[in-house]
Chain A
Amino acid sequence: MVHPLDLAIIVAYLGVITFVGLRVSRSVHDARDFFLAGRSLAWYVVGLSIIGTNISAEGYVGASGSAYKVGVAQANFEWIGAIPAMILASLIFIPVYWRAGVYSIPEYMGRRYNNAVRVLLALITSTFSIFAIAVGLWALALTLQTYLGWPIWAGVLVTGAVVGIYSIAGGLRAVAYTDMVQVLIMFCGGLVIVGLGIAETGGFTGFAAKLTAHNPDHLHAFLPADHDTFPWPGVLLGLAIVLSPAYWCGSQTILQRTLGARSQWDASAAMMFAAFAKTLVPLLIVFPGLLALVMKAQIEYPDMALPWVIKNVLPPGLSGLMFVALIAALQSTVDSTLNSTSLMITRDIRGVLMRNADRSRDLAVGRMLTGFILLVAMLMAPQIGNLGGMYEFIQTLLSLFQGPTLALLVLGAFTRHVTPVAGLVTLVTGVCLSGTLTALGTNMLYVAFVTFVYALACLWVVSFFTEKLPATTLDHLVFRRESR
């Protein structure tokens, strides 16, 4: 039975989020307002929205479970697997995208290479995103079922309706402001767990001593080179050098809010600010896993670590707050993915394939697509438990693109040498190589690194034999060190 205080907090949260979302929705008049918030967002709003989009509910639960298994090494995804790439995004890629004046990363790729690259990337990313939204809705419905006893369909309906109302009405502006509120709730909930957990285990020293008594590697950031999941060469080469920059410098869902900032300076500042916040994220998503281990939680599998901590460490009221933090983590990812998917389908797929489409209808089409994508994801959500294999397949499919896509981004943004045809050839052959290596059972981190190196070489060599874009076009698309 849920404590009435917890229930009141959950109902209050849903009310506040809907109110904030609708309140900031009033100034949406065209597609630029809907997809880029009229380029009006302040750096701190964008920065917190980036973090909210980055932390998903399943990631929240999964990272705690992984920390329970491997310890602090899980935090590499938030530190070396994020911070260098976020600095790169802030100082190099965001200025490049701003100067190009694009709405999306596929649009930038389309201008730098060609429309085939643009449509291909938008198509793959959109397909993955619809599955990701469905998985997110399903994960939350499952949590609502466990915690409140709601049937799955009711959980999907309520959360889908709340997200849908403000995402369809307010677009990116509503998404960014609600993300900001959601991240603040997540940090409050997480810090309370840290405080209570440390107090209950005898302070930092007692916590560390109990943790390492039976798990000596759990306070080591890097694990041995022959570790099954996180071998350190894989973490450095695959995660830090390829997967992380591909995500932070090339993910439409993450970067769309920086393109909605009120200036290029605000956009770069937002990413830097997000990097500071990101440094603290392990407190929210890694610490609960370690705490469950220290407190000798009786759990069947690692992913139950966070729910166990919520249930056993937090008093009534605070467990409601933490539950709300989980809902917030889910909603902030779903709303952002919804908006960015709608943008890619409206502009990067419809806009290219239907050249005569009326661009003045982009706002109406974007809103309609947002509702349609949400509806499809809501219909898929209850079936996700049976589609687990297919979702994993889609995730693997997306990871096949990371190495080649990053090579296209890096050489495209830094050099004038690479050509449109080389871009398409590299993307197609690089993905084939990724698929082959994955089929041979190679660790995903090594696949990412090998295909990235291959793609760099292929793009460079093929560009010698194919036609370059005019210099005047490249002026707006390539990073320049204008002056010292």
Chain B
Amino acid sequence: MNPADFPVWWANLAAVILFVGIAFAVFLIPKTEIMRNAPDQSWWRDFRFWAIPLVIVQLGLYALFT
């Protein structure tokens, strides 16, 4: 198969899989590691919760510019 024949929707699908995969993968990192040296233990200082909106925005952008 000629790579030039690969349809563009494969790229959009791959982008969705990548971003959704990241959203799940960040929760494999222990909270103790993320909160090391944090000024306090508030939930909002947990970067896993920063990554989620970031991923959602990316999914929205790629859906918009499909």
| Cross-chain contact A484 with B8 (CB below 8 angstroms) | no
A266–B14 alpha-carbon span in the complex (Å)? 32
Query: Size class of B's contact patch?
Result: 35 or more
A206–B3 alpha-carbon span in the complex (Å)? 36
Residues of B within 8 A of A236 (CB): 11, 14-15, 18
Whether A79 touches B61, Cβ cut-off 8 Å, given contacts A222-B11, A265-B39, A481-B29, is yes
**Contact partner, B36, options A72, A225, A265, A275, Cβ 8 Å:** A265
Whether A483 touches B32, Cβ cut-off 8 Å, given contacts A80-B18, A84-B22, is yes
**Contact partner, A221, options B5, B34, B54, B66, Cβ 8 Å:** B66
A219–B37 alpha-carbon span in the complex (Å)? 43
| Cross-chain contact B18 with A240 (CB below 8 angstroms) | yes
Residues of A within 8 A of B19 (CB): 84
| Cross-chain contact B65 with A221 (CB below 8 angstroms) | yes
| Cross-chain contact B8 with A232 (CB below 8 angstroms) | yes
Q: Is A358 an interface residue (CB 8 A)?
A: no
Query: Size class of A's contact patch?
Result: 35 or more
Contact with B along A55-92 (1 / 0, CB 8 A): 00000000000000000100100011001100100111
Contact with B along A248-274 (1 / 0, CB 8 A): 000000000000000111101100100
**Contact partner, B28, options A95, A480, A481, Cβ 8 Å:** A481
Residues of B within 8 A of A232 (CB): 6, 8, 10-11
A173–B47 alpha-carbon span in the complex (Å)? 25
| Cross-chain contact A72 with B33 (CB below 8 angstroms) | no
| Cross-chain contact A272 with B32 (CB below 8 angstroms) | no
Q: Is A300 an interface residue (CB 8 A)?
A: no
Interfacial residues, chain B to chain A (CB-CB below 8 A):
3-6, 8, 10-12, 14-15, 18-19, 22, 26, 28-39, 45, 47-48, 50-51, 54-55, 57-58, 61-62, 65-66
Interfacial residues, chain A to chain B (CB-CB below 8 A):
72, 75, 79-80, 83-84, 87, 90-92, 95, 219-226, 231-233, 235-236, 240, 263-266, 268-269, 272, 275-276, 279, 480-484
Further 7 A-B residue pairs, CB within 8 A, beyond A84-B19, A263-B37, A264-B37: A79-B58, A80-B62, A221-B66, A222-B12, A233-B3, A236-B11, A481-B33
